[in-house]
Structures are given as C-alpha cells and as structure tokens.
Structure 1
C-alpha cells in the first residue's frame, strides 16, 4: 500500500461514486449511471479533461448520460428501425430517436452496474465494475445472451487507463458491438479558450451517411479541412461535425491528440487498434467540448452487406472474450 493513492466510495453531487486518486490525478466513476467515468482531473495543472455535469445539471445528465464523461455504448450509435439479424437471430430494439426512426446507443450507459472491487497498489489506484446479463435482466429481452461487460479503470503516474472486457458465457454466439462516447473539454485548462486548441485523429476514410444518419456502404472524399485531422491538425470546432470515419494508425497506434497551444500541453487519447471506426461529434461546433468516439463496429453494422472484418462486426462464440485497453494522458507539446 502507499499514501500516494486512494480508492474509496463517496458522492459525485447526489450520485454514488467510486473515487480514485493518484498523485496529481483524480477520477470518479458512477456505478448507478452506466459505470460512467464522469471525471478525470489534474489538480496540479488545473486541468478538467472530461465534460462533467454541474450540481444543477444532474437530473438532465441522468436523463441523457451520453454527453458527459466516458459512457459505454453497447451496441453503439444507430440501427435502422431498431432491427437487425445476426447469426440467424432477429433482434428488435426500441426506436428511441424519432427524427431518424432508429435505435440509438444501446442500453448500458443508462444501466446500473456492480462495483466488484477498488483498491490501491504500489503503482496505481483502481476500480473494477461489471454488469451481467442473464434471463432475469431487463436488457435480456433485447439482447438474449448471457454475458458480462467489465470495466477496469486505474490512475497511475501514466495517467488514466481503461480496460474493457466482454465475456460471452452463454450457449450461443453473440454480436460484440461497442464504443465510448468520450466527451472531452476544449478548453480543458483554466485560462484557455477553445481558440487555443487543435486536434488530430488517426482517420482514413469518411463513411457516406444517408438522411437517417446510416452508412450507405460507400466512402466520400475528405475535404481539405478534414484531411488536416490526420496531418497538421485543426480546431475541434472548425465546423459542425457528426461524422463517421474508418480508423488508421500513427506510429502503430490509434489515437486522438488535443493540444493546448497556449500552455504547450497535449492530451493523448490512445484507444487501441481493435477500434476500427471513429465517430466525431462536436455538439454543433458549440466551442466547449467534443466527442472523439472510438468504435469497434460500423454504425448499423449487422444490416451492412460489407465483410464483417472490414466493418468491425465481431462475433463472440460461447465462452469467448473480447477486450481492449485505452489510455488518457498529458505530455508537453
């Protein structure tokens, strides 16, 4: 044990939370609201990395928990008419986006999760949360599989680490479709403005979306400004964005880099190469936060005729496990 870190149960305003501390860093996770990692802060440099709800915004947050912190989406994004067929099984999700007639974002970012453990070691503070779906769980009516999602978050000298595990312990194959709707502040530093920020993202191609925000299966050319995302970078609010891209790699890694040019600090969000897609949304270029969303599968993937490997549609056979790690940390620019 060490006095450098802490892990304990407490409150985030009126919501129960697991708090982690390590050196200059602290983080909070909300078991009752989708195991959302709602806060990641650097006290020494006065940085608030993630978009957090204020005390008087907590009811609005609980009603729509997808645009604060790090919500887990399973399955992520939109599914046409809430329907798809996978491995010969038909699935019907509720249509919860009236404007498009689609199902949006799955069920796990609003569900209650279990706290398995939290502790401090000589090198980190950590917490493990999970949710298990079986025939008694409400989600089973939409995803009739027996499986567990597990999240492990830790703080160390290396920043914030996330490990996600999906374990199919049922008798039938299941689709593994997951993303994180990570809401990052820009500015994340006191005294900076959104104009001080530029970002880059390891993208390759932009998917063409139809009027219902569903992929057509075709790519569309990147504009000259979009091309800067994977080269010189540009401001997160250069235009309103709700765009879907294939991922690429930079020096072997799949990541977003956000630079505060006033302070000379760079936030790196290294998400792992299993995520074959990126969504990026900036709240109509609102100038306060944006969401670079690592996504395993193409939007509406089971309804696509493209090869499963190309669109990141992962099949978990009985007993199989899928996992990936991500990390958020700050370096000098």
Structure 2
C-alpha cells in the first residue's frame, strides 16, 4: 500500500493524516500538534484514547487527556513560581485549592504551522512548528522566546516524534522540562478486555508527593504496589493509579535493552511499545480514577516542580537551554 499524507477536516479542525506500514496517524496541528489517533490496522490496535464522535472543541477543552499531547511546561509548579538561574517567573495558578499550582503550561493548546508533509517509498512525515514570542498571551509570564519544532515520521517501524526547542531570546536561559501526557486506550487491542492489560514500567526509586502533588524530596524504596510496574504485573486500569512518580530505568524487549514502557494484552500476546530517548528520566502513571477507559504512562525529562527543588539538577533532571542552543528529544510507538 502506498505511503501517503493528506490534509483533512476532522470534526471541526484541519488535521494531517499519515498512512504508512499498516499504521495510520491523525495529527491535529491546530491543537498543539496532538496525535489524536494512532492505529495499526494490520494487528487491530488503537494506541491512544480516541472517539470518532469527538469534536475539535471537545479535545481543546481537555487537551491533556486525548491522544498524544506534548506538554511544556509540564506538571506542577508550586504557587506558579518558576526559578531559573537568571530570573524568577510567576506563572498563572490554574490548579485550584488545595493545590494552588500552575499545571501543564500552554503549548499543547497552541496552533502550530505545517512546515511540510510528504511521503516516499519508506515513510510518511509531517513537520510542524510554533514560534513563541511576545504575540503569545503566555509571554507576559515567561518572556523567553523560543521555536518548537516537531517531526512525526510514520513507517512500518511505527510512529516516531522528534522534538526540538531552540532558545531565540539572545539573553535569557530557557527553562526546560518536557513531558508527554500520553493517553493510551483501554483496551488497545480490538475486542479485548481491559482486565487483560498488563503494564511494564522500568522504575527505580519512587518520588514521594505531598497533598499538593508536589515532591517532598523524599526518595522511597519500592513497595509491592510499585514492583508490579517493574515486573509487568500491573493492570493500569480498573483500579486507581494516582500520580505514581518514579525514576526511569531500562527493561528488555526481545532480549535487547529498551528505554520505555510495554503494555501487553495477555489474552492475545499483542504488545503496545512506547520507547523514549534518554532525556526522559522519569515516569508518572495516572489513570483518571481507573474507569474511564484510558491510562497515562507519562515520560518526563524532569521532576515535578524541578527548578524549585533543593535537590541537584542531575537528580531532578532540570536543565536550561542557553540562548541560541537547542534541546532535542525523541519517542516512538510501535506494536509487537
């Protein structure tokens, strides 16, 4: 079957549809370049939380919990404060009491531009870009201009996303914490049962969170609950997984080192694989109380509230992009 890309109208927003290698992807560049659908038609696998009758406005209203939204700045900043090496920024507190945090930033709601979409004999691809400057309403809180560039590549190897952030400020460092609020479908195999899902997450120590979902800076050893992630025995739905946050490690896939998570339908043996680059140092597992037919293994490059913690940066994962420099990350989804 020929590899293709096309612009389509999907329930009120223009998307780019990619087809290649038995996979199809639908990317809503007007909603943060969210991959609102990824499907493998050969094995019958629906990767992300998706509904045919969703409208574009439905997704905009809760863009964090559909498809594959890329978050900048992700997760929580206590009282909206973000401390960098050369400034202190006050972000809007958009998570109400008792939390009183800034949560999830702004980029997943922005309208990106399509730079290029095309296909050849090997793959189909889409490149999108967002230029962040004084024209963005968030700039009053974070006056550090940057360019975000995403490249999506679909092939028989699955869907790959390459992410680049370039600091264009000239004077200020760009705080860098990045995450995907990956919303995986439950079940993800056509006709399967949610109770047959088992999730493997290669984890190290657990990051204890307080009642505001902020790190206490206490790093805990793993309990039996936590070890179910590591051993691949965790059913990530039909029970509550509420912001379980861990240092990420590596597992094995086909006897090779694998930096990512694996979800398996144990009845069929089909696996949904999610590989991330080494920039992603943490995993948070959340499932919206467990009975809404999706679960979120979220890779993060830095801890929650990382720039404000007293822990060193080589522990928290927090980093800063100097003027003129670029931060890059990569992730891939595929079925086995």
1:136-160 CA-to-partner distances (Å, cap 9, x unmatched) read: 3223222211211111111101011
Instruction: Report SS of the residue matched to 2:222.
Output: coil
Contact kept in structure 2, 1:53 and 1:68, CA below 8 Å: no
Instruction: Report SS of the residue matched to 1:216.
Output: strand
Task: Tell me how far apart the structure 1 counterparts of residues 260 and 230 of structure 2 sit (CA, whole Å).
Answer: 10
Correspondence 1:1-333 to 2 at 5 A? 4-56=2-54, 58-99=56-97, 100-171=99-170, 172-237=172-237, 239-241=239-241, 242-251=243-252, 252-286=257-291, 288-331=293-336
1:15, CA displacement in angstroms? 1.4
1:93, CA displacement in angstroms? 1.0
Q: Flag structure 2 segments of 5+ consecutive residues without an equivalent.
A: none
Instruction: Report SS of the residue matched to 1:75.
Output: coil
Task: Tell me how far apart the structure 2 counterparts of residues 106 and 64 of structure 1 sit (CA, whole Å).
Answer: 13
Contact kept in structure 2, 1:194 and 1:287, CA below 8 Å: no
Task: Tell me how far apart the structure 2 counterparts of residues 247 and 115 of structure 1 sit (CA, whole Å).
Answer: 33
Q: TM-score, normalised by structure 2?
A: 0.94
1:222, CA displacement in angstroms? 2.2
1:159-210 CA-to-partner distances (Å, cap 9, x unmatched) read: 1111111111221211111100000012111210111111100111111111
Contact kept in structure 2, 1:181 and 1:291, CA below 8 Å: yes
1:309, CA displacement in angstroms? 1.4
Task: Tell me how far apart the structure 1 counterparts of residues 14 and 77 of structure 2 sit (CA, whole Å).
Answer: 32
Task: Tell me how far apart the structure 2 counterparts of residues 247 and 39 of structure 1 sit (CA, whole Å).
Answer: 26
1:105, CA displacement in angstroms? 0.2
1:258-282 CA-to-partner distances (Å, cap 9, x unmatched) read: 0011211111100112111111101
Tell me the number of residue pairs that the alignment of Structure 1 and Structure 2 aligns.
329
Instruction: Report SS of the residue matched to 1:162.
Output: strand
Task: Tell me how far apart the structure 2 counterparts of residues 254 and 30 of structure 1 sit (CA, whole Å).
Answer: 27
Q: Flag structure 1 segments of 5+ consecutive residues without an equivalent.
A: none
